[in-house]
A and B are shown apart, each in its own frame.
Chain A
Amino acid sequence: MSAQAPPVVSEPVEDDVSARIARLDEARRNPLLHVDGLWKVFGARSDRIIGTPDADLSRRDLMAKTGCVVAVKDVSFDVAPGEVFVVMGLSGSGKSTLVRCLTRLIEPTAGQITVAGQDITSATDGQLRELRRKHVAMVFQHFGLLPHRRVIDNVAYGLEIRGDGKAERRERAQEMVDLVGLSGNENSYPDQLSGGMQQRVGLARALAVDPSVLLFDEPFSALDPLIRRDMQNEVIRLHHEVGKTMVFITHDLQEALKLGDRILIMRDGAMVQVGRPDEVVGAPADDYVRDFVSDVPRSHVLTLRWVMRDPRPDEALEGPVMGPDTVVKNAAHRVLASAHPARVVAGGQLLGVVDREDILRVIVAEEPA
Chain B
Amino acid sequence: MTAVVERPAAPGPPEPLASTPQQKPEPVRRTGVLLGAILGIWVLGWLLFQGVATLPLGRATLTGFHTRLNELRDSFDAARDSNVILDVVVGGIRDAIDAVVVGAQDLLSQPAFPRPVPQIGWLGVVALLAWVAYALAGVRATILVVLSLLSFGVLGYWSESIDLLIVTFTAVLIAVAVGIPLGIAMARSRAVTAIATPVLDVMQTMPSFAYLLPLVLLFSIGPSAAVVATLIYALPPVVRITAHGLRTVAASTIVATTSMGSTKAQLLRKVQLPMAKRTIVVGINQTIMAALSMATIAALIDGPGLGEPVIQALQTLDIGTAFVSGLAIVIMAIMLDRTTTAASQRAENERRVARDPRRRRIALVVGAVLAGVGVYLSRSYLWAADPDRLPDLGRPLADAAGTATDWFTDTFSAVTGAIKDGFTYALLNPFQSLLADSPWWLVAAVLLAVAFVLGGWRPTLTTAVCLAVIFGVGLWQDTMVTLTMTLVATVLVMLLAVVFGVWMGRSKRADTALRPLLDAGQTIPPFVYLVPALALFGTSRFTAIVAAIVYAAPAAIKLVADGIRGVSPTTVEAAESAGSSRLQIITKVQLPMARSALVLASNQGLLYVLSMVVIGGLVGGGALGYTVVSGFSQAQLFGKGLAAGIAIVALGIMLDRITQHAAARSGRR
- Chain A residues close to B by CB (< 8 Å): 58-60, 63-64, 69, 90-93, 100, 103, 105, 128-134, 136-138, 140-148, 157-158, 160-162, 189, 202, 205, 209, 215, 251-254, 267-268, 287-288, 291-292, 295-297, 366
Contacts and interface: CB of A to CB of B under 8 A. Distances in A.
B5 A144 contact: no
Interface in B251-306: 252-253, 255-263, 266, 270-271, 274-275, 277
A148 B260 contact: no
Interface residues of B, number: 36
Contacts of B263: 129, 161
A60 B16 contact: yes
A365 to B, nearest CB: 13
Given A161-B261, A296-B3, A92 B253 contact: no
Contact of A158 (B17, B260, B271, B275): B260
Interface of B: 1-7, 9-12, 14-17, 22, 250, 252-253, 255-263, 266, 270-271, 274-275, 277, 351-352
A287 to B, nearest CB: 7
A146 B275 contact: yes
Given A140-B252, A146-B274, 5 more contacts: A91-B14, A128-B261, A161-B270, A189-B352, A296-B3
Contacts of B10: 291
Nearest to A291: B10
Contacts of A63: 16-17
Given A146-B271, A146-B275, A287-B11, A130 B261 contact: yes
Nearest to B274: A148
B7 to A, nearest CB: 8
Nearest to A268: B14
Nearest to A250: B5
Given A144-B252, A254-B3, A92 B259 contact: no
A252 B260 contact: no
Contacts of A91: 14-15
A45 B71 CA distance: 56
Given A140-B252, A144-B253, A145-B253, A161 B3 contact: no
B17 to A, nearest CB: 7
Given A189-B352, A297-B1, A129 B22 contact: no
Contacts of A100: 255
B255 A161 contact: no
Contacts of B6: 90, 251-252
Closest 4 CB pairs of A and B: A144-B256, A133-B261, A132-B261, A295-B3
Contacts of B22: 64
A161 to B, nearest CB: 5
Contact of A253 (B1, B5, B9, B258): B5
A204 B352 CA distance: 23
Nearest to A299: B1
Q: Which of B9, B260, B266 has the most CB of A within 10 A?
A: B260
B12 to A, nearest CB: 8
Contacts of B14: 90-93, 267-268
Nearest to A160: B270
A146 B250 CA distance: 10
A144 B257 contact: yes
A128 B258 CA distance: 10
Contacts of B253: 144-146
Contacts, number: 114
Contacts of B277: 148
Nearest to B10: A291
A142 B254 CA distance: 12
Given A69-B17, A189-B352, A105 B255 contact: yes
Nearest to A209: B260
B259 A254 contact: no
Contacts of A143: 252, 256
A161 B260 contact: yes
18 contacts: A64-B22, A90-B9, A91-B15, A92-B15, A131-B261, A138-B260, A142-B250, A144-B256, A146-B270, A146-B271, A148-B275, A157-B260, A161-B260, A189-B351, A253-B5, A288-B11, A291-B10, A366-B1
Q: Which of B16, B17, B271, B277 has the most CB of A within 10 A?
A: B16
A105 B259 contact: yes
B16 A59 contact: yes
Nearest to B276: A148
Given A63-B17, A69-B16, A161-B266, A147 B275 contact: yes
Nearest to A138: B259
A132 B260 contact: yes
A189 B10 CA distance: 43
B261 A254 contact: no
Contacts of A288: 9, 11
Contacts of A132: 258-261
Contacts of A92: 14-15
A366 B259 CA distance: 43
Contacts of A202: 256
Contacts of B17: 63, 69
Given A64-B22, A146-B271, A252 B5 contact: yes
A138 B274 CA distance: 23
B260 to A, nearest CB: 4
A189 B348 CA distance: 13
A56 to B, nearest CB: 15
B2 A144 contact: no
B250 A161 contact: no
B267 to A, nearest CB: 9
Contacts of B7: 292, 295
A91 B252 CA distance: 17
Given A69-B17, A148-B351, A295-B4, A103 B259 contact: yes
Contacts of A366: 1
B258 to A, nearest CB: 6
B616 to A, nearest CB: 46
B251 to A, nearest CB: 9
B96 to A, nearest CB: 37
B280 to A, nearest CB: 13
Nearest to B256: A144
A142 B252 contact: yes
A162 B270 CA distance: 13
B5 A137 contact: no
Contacts of A69: 16-17
Nearest to A202: B256
A53 B12 CA distance: 21
A59 B15 CA distance: 9
Contacts of A160: 270
A277 to B, nearest CB: 13
Contacts of B271: 146
A157 B260 CA distance: 8
B11 A140 contact: no
Contacts of B250: 142, 144
Contacts of A60: 16
Nearest to B262: A161
Contacts of A146: 253, 257, 270-271, 274-275
A134 B261 CA distance: 9
Contacts of A162: 261
Given A92-B14, A130-B261, A131-B261, A138 B3 contact: no
A92 B257 CA distance: 24
A158 B261 contact: yes
Contacts of B266: 161
B182 to A, nearest CB: 23
A212 to B, nearest CB: 14
B356 to A, nearest CB: 15
A142 B1 CA distance: 29
Contacts of A215: 259
B387 to A, nearest CB: 43
Contacts of A140: 252, 255-256
A141 B270 CA distance: 22
Contacts of A161: 257, 260-263, 266, 270
A254 B15 CA distance: 23
